[in-house]
Structure 1
Amino acid sequence: MRGKIIQALAGFYDVECEGVIYRTRARGNFRKKGKTPYVGDLVEFSAENPQEGYILAIHERKNALVRPPIVNVDQAVVIMSAREPDFNANLLDRFLVLLEYKDIHPIIYISKMDLLEDEEVLLAYAAVYEAMGYPFITQMSDLLPYLKDKITVFMGQTGVGKSTLLNKIAPDLALETGEISDSLGRGRHTTRMVKLYHVHGGLIADTPGFSALDYEVKTAPDLNSAFVDIEKVSANCKFRSCTHTHEPACAVKSAAEAGEIAAFRYDDYLQLLSEIENRRETYKKVLKRK
């Protein structure tokens, strides 16, 4: 039989096949090969009854997230709050870079709009991101149509209200929520496992909040590709290996100076490029000591 893993917990994998959920385990040869089934995997399995089955094979994945451990994701709703914590374009760009690198379509959702006194600045950000093809949504009703027929991950900084939003979308889930800490200005982590839920014609996953984002983009070319606005312009750079920092006839620098690329986006690109280069230098120093 063939099905999709919708939950993984304590060595058991719940596989959905034609509307029936089968509790399965992975065959021992997966451990020998260093393979681990993940939520979202399309698998071949056998089962004598819904409570006792075995995963036999894992189909090829189109993408995979490390944290949360989930695969074959179609899109991700990146939740950023307007206030408490304040909207952070740099953190949003870090999420977008990761998602572009993983070939996962981003949808930007802004929570806590009721706490915002002046929307002008946020609307300026919205214009930039929408011009790049990213939906920039502030109302739950506008988000729901995007969920149909997709596997969607909800992600964002801790305290922005992911579980609160999901409880509004699907009250039956009754996901645990946490209060914002006044002293830390951030929320407690409330999501403890990854599970796919049937909601509004699609599958959605709540995921752990992030105090920091695991960063997987390790090269300048990959970073260039993950900034869609920069990649589009970089085709006109004089040098194919242009990093858009010091090279002559750089189309990206010219576009940033002319306002064709938003200044904050170019600054975020430079910051992330610097972090990549610093990690590379640190790695070289470690190798020399060995």
Structure 2
Amino acid sequence: MIDGIILKGFSGFYYVRTQAHGEVECSLRGRFRQERLTFLPGDYVKISLTNERQGVIEELLPRETELLRPPVANVDQAILVLALADPPPDLVLLDRLLVYLEQTPVMPVICFNKRDIAGDSEAEEIIGIYKDIGYDLVLTSVKTKTGFDELKNFLQNHISVFAGPSGVGKSSLLNVLEPGFKLETGSVSDKARRGKHTTRHTKLLSLYGGYVADTPGFSRIELPNVSREELSFLFPEMDGYRQDCRFNTCLHYKEPQCAVKQALERGAISQSRYKNYLRFLEEITARERSY
């Protein structure tokens, strides 16, 4: 049997990249349909050939990581792309993605795109929030071609996923990194200032000794299945203060002598991040009460 990696799936067929035979169009063995196994871009598989360009998936190898939104397997890095302007940065979605990734082995890299059209003071404030927390950052502009050497360094020899809302320039960034991709790009809706979907299916693209997944844009992602008490552990900036709270079960909301709220008052924790923390806390509380 031949080892390969699934690049994409479409209409019941899976396109598998192999070292010796290139890309092979594969169907599934009937037993996989009966077992209702899900096959994702990024899955490592073993296939048998029926001819030079077609084959059958015989075995699904164990996954190291799995993301549900976007649906992709075995990625070790997520490039979270937001525009600094047009459309305005959706920091609620960014923080949702970061919280989601904090409880996985996938490392986040924040890519703030359209740096050339963003106001300096507002952009620097947003950039500073995430830089101070310690997240890896890259600032890019498709128009001025800035930030791409740094972005290439992040992508080299990794299996990465590009994720973020529509209209922020994910496909445009990939077209600059590799013009041969020729990915469809779209504009931003004048009415809602939201991006229009151009990528319709998640697919892996070979790039810099690894792979990158171009994914459809989205505007919402569910929070991970964690308790109220666990949520603050997914906000790294709270790590240095949590143990100094009066109560071990402190939710950093209305409790007295809360070290996290004291850090917030001193400006050591971002107001926007804390507001999103409370938003997520309320969401998790409502979810727990509905059980």
Q: Is the 8 A contact 2:9 2:41 kept in 1?
A: yes
Unaligned runs of 5+ in 2: 140-146
1:91 corresponding residue in structure 2:
93
2:7 corresponding residue in structure 1:
6
Q: Is the 8 A contact 2:5 2:16 kept in 1?
A: yes
1:254 corresponding residue in structure 2:
262
1:142 corresponding residue in structure 2:
150
Q: What is the SS of the residue equivalent to 1:13? A: strand
1:287 corresponding residue in structure 2:
none
CA–CA separation in structure 1 for the residues paired with 2:243 and 2:206: 41
CA–CA separation in structure 1 for the residues paired with 2:169 and 2:32: 37
TM-score, scaled relative to structure 1: 0.89
Q: What is the SS of the residue equivalent to 1:167? A: helix
Matches for 1:70-81 after TM superposition, within 5 Å:
70-81=72-83
2:39 corresponding residue in structure 1:
37
Q: What is the SS of the residue equivalent to 2:8? A: strand
- After the TM superposition, which of the residue ranges 47-56 and 171-180 deviates more from structure 2? 47-56
The CA deviation at 1:259 is: 2.2
CA–CA separation in structure 2 for the residues paired with 1:74 and 1:64: 10
Q: Is the 8 A contact 1:21 1:50 kept in 2?
A: no
CA–CA separation in structure 1 for the residues paired with 2:58 and 2:124: 50
The CA deviation at 1:221 is: 4.2
Q: Is the 8 A contact 1:47 1:53 kept in 2?
A: yes
Q: What is the SS of the residue equivalent to 1:120? A: helix
The CA deviation at 1:134 is: 1.3
- After the TM superposition, which of the residue ranges 220-229 and 37-46 deviates more from structure 2? 220-229
CA–CA separation in structure 2 for the residues paired with 1:185 and 1:17: 41
Residue of 239, 251, 274 corresponding to 1:266: 274
1:204 corresponding residue in structure 2:
212
The CA deviation at 1:140 is: 2.4
Matches for 1:10-159 after TM superposition, within 5 Å:
10-19=11-20, 20-116=22-118, 118-138=119-139, 139-159=147-167
Q: Is the 8 A contact 1:74 1:150 kept in 2?
A: yes
Q: Is the 8 A contact 1:217 1:223 kept in 2?
A: no
The alignment of Structure 1 onto Structure 2 pairs a total of residues equal to 282
CA–CA separation in structure 1 for the residues paired with 2:106 and 2:284: 22
Change beyond 3 A, Cα 1:86–1:147? same
Deviation digits for residues 159-207 of structure 1 (CA, Å, limit 9, x no counterpart): 1111111111111111111122111211211101111111222211111
- After the TM superposition, which of the residue ranges 51-60 and 159-168 deviates more from structure 2? 51-60
Q: What is the SS of the residue equivalent to 1:30? A: helix
Q: Is the 8 A contact 2:41 2:73 kept in 1?
A: yes
CA–CA separation in structure 2 for the residues paired with 1:62 and 1:243: 32
Q: Is the 8 A contact 1:101 1:217 kept in 2?
A: no
- After the TM superposition, which of the residue ranges 229-238 and 134-143 deviates more from structure 2? 229-238
